[in-house]
Amino acid sequence: MEQVIRQLCVGTGRLGVTNTVLSLSREQNLVPIAFEGHTVHRVPLDFELASNACSVASLGALARLAREADVVHYHFPWPFMDLAHFLARVKKPTVVSYHSDIVRQKKLLRLYQPLKQRFLRSVDAIVAASPDYMESSPVLGRYRDKTRVITYGLDRDTYPQPDPQRLARWRERFGPKFFLFVGVLRYYKGLHVLLEAVAGTNYPVVIVGAGPEEARLKAQALSLGLNNVTFVGAVDEEDKVALLTLCYALAFPSHLRSEAFGISLLEGAMYGKPMISCDIGSGTTYINIDGETGLVTPPADAPALRAAMRTLWDNPDMAREMGARAGERFQKVFTAEQMATSYAALYREVVARRAATPGMVTPGVAPGAKTAD
C-alpha cells in the first residue's frame, strides 16, 4: 500500500497536485519529511487493536491538514480513520480508495458496521482498484452510485536499476530458472499451499519477505523436507528488482479475498513475467488473465497449483509469450500515469460537485489542487 500511495503522490504531483500524507509511526521526535515532491506528516502510533492502528495525535493533525486541503483522500479499511474523520470534523470533499473488504475479523466487524456505513455514506466518491472487486464486494454494491474503478498503477522508472554484480550474485545462488514469490508472509498469502504444491518436485522456489507466518512456514517446509524452497527474508528494493528481473515466473498463491489486488503480482507483470495466481474474485484475476498472461487456479488447491507450475516449467516458449503479454497488458492498463490522471480528474470532479451544491462552500481547484492522504 505504501507503494501505491507513493506512486499516486508522484504521479498526481506531475499533474499539478500538491500532496500531503498523514501516517502513523512508532518512532519518536517526528518531524515532517519532504519526499519525492510531497510532504509526509507522521504522528505517534499509540496502540493497535485487531491490526487497527490508533493515534490520539492524528485527530488534531487530520483536522489541521484537512483545513489546508481541497480534497481529503482516505484509504480503506482502517476503522480508526472512520472515527477520526468525524472527530476531526472534516468538511472538505472526500475520496476513499477502497482497498479491501474486511475478511477476517467477523465479530469485530459487527460492532464496526454502523460506523463503517456512516463513513462510506458520508464521503463523496469511492474508488475500487478493479472491476472484479467492485462486482464481487457486497459492501461496494451498496454504494454503486458513488463508486468507480481506478486501477493501481506503477512507474518502472521509479524502481532502481540492479547492477550487474548484484544480478550475478543472485543468479549464482539460484540458477537461471526459479519461481518467485514477493510479499509479506501473512495468513492469506496461501504460501502453505505453495509449499504443499512443490513437495516432491524439483522446482526451485524463492520466497522474498518476512511476516507473522514466517516461523510456521519454515517449520512446514522442514517437515515436508523441502530443499528446493529458499526463504531469503526481507530485501531492499535493489535486490527485489534483481530477483524480479531474473525469475522464470511469479507464483502468487493468495487464497483469500484479503488479497484484494496484489501489487507484487503487478510488479511481476511490469517486469514481463508469466504469473500463477488464484481465482478469489479480487484484482488478482484482473492483473493475471488465465491462459493469456499466466495461469489461474482454484484457491487453496495444491494439486492445481502444482499442475500450473509444471505447465509453465515444461513449456518455456509458452511462458515467454505469456510474460510478454503480461508486460503489454501492464503498459495498456496499469501505468502510474493512467492512475494519476484518473485520480487528478476525480479530485477536480468532487470539488466542483461540492461547489455546485447549494449551501456548501469549498475552495475551487485551479491547476494545482491540494490533497491530504
pLDDT of residue 54: 93
Q: What is the pLDDT of residue 49?
A: 83
Percent of the chain residues topping a pLDDT of 70:
95
pLDDT band at 20 (very low <50, low <70, confident <90, very high): very high
What is the pLDDT, as a whole number, of residue 358? 56
For the chain, list the domains and their CATH numbers.
Answer: 1-155+337-353 (3.40.50.2000), 156-334 (3.40.50.2000)
Cβ–Cβ < 8 Å for 297, 308 = yes
Residue 30: what pLDDT? Answer: 86
- Helical ranges in 43-146 per DSSP H: 57-68, 79-87, 106-122, 131-136
- Would you say residue 320 has pLDDT above 90? yes
What confidence tier does 260 reach under pLDDT thresholds 50, 70, 90?
confident
The more confident residue out of 33 and 359 is 33
pLDDT computed for residue 281 by the predictor: 86
Cell 539460484 found at: 174
pLDDT in the model for residue 371? 62
Residue 368 has pLDDT above 60, yes or no: no
What is the rounded distance in angstroms from the CA atom of residue 11 to the CA atom of residue 343?
Answer: 9
Least confident of 2-11, 242-251, 303-312: 2-11
Query: pLDDT tens across 105-151, in order?
Result: 666 778 889 999 999 999 999 999 999 999 989 999 999 999 999 99
| Chain mean pLDDT for the chain | 92
Q: According to the model, what pLDDT value does residue 372 have? A: 59
Q: State the average pLDDT over residues 290-295.
A: 98
pLDDT at residue 24 greater than cutoff 50:
yes
Report the distance separating Cα 55 and Cα 24, nearest Å.
7
Burial class (CB within 10 angstroms; exposed 0-12, middle 13-18, buried 19+) of 318: middle
Beta-bridge mates of residue 73: 95
State pLDDT tens for residues 39-57.
999 999 999 987 789 999 9
**Amino acid, res. 161:** Q
Q: Looking at residue 361, what is its pLDDT?
A: 40
Counting every residue written for the chain, the total comes to: 373
pLDDT at 51: 78
pLDDT band at 363 (very low <50, low <70, confident <90, very high): very low
Rounded-to-integer distance, Cα 165 and Cα 17, Å: 39
The torsion angles phi and psi of 205, rounded to 5 degrees, stand at -125, 130
The answer, yes or no, to whether residue 93 has pLDDT greater than 50, is: yes
Q: Say if CB 1 and CB 99 are below 8 A apart.
A: yes
Structure confidence at residue 105 (pLDDT): 66
pLDDT grade for 60, boundaries at 50, 70 and 90 = very high
pLDDT for 187-233, tens place per residue?
Answer: 999 999 999 999 999 999 999 999 999 999 999 999 999 999 999 99
pTM score, whole prediction: 0.86
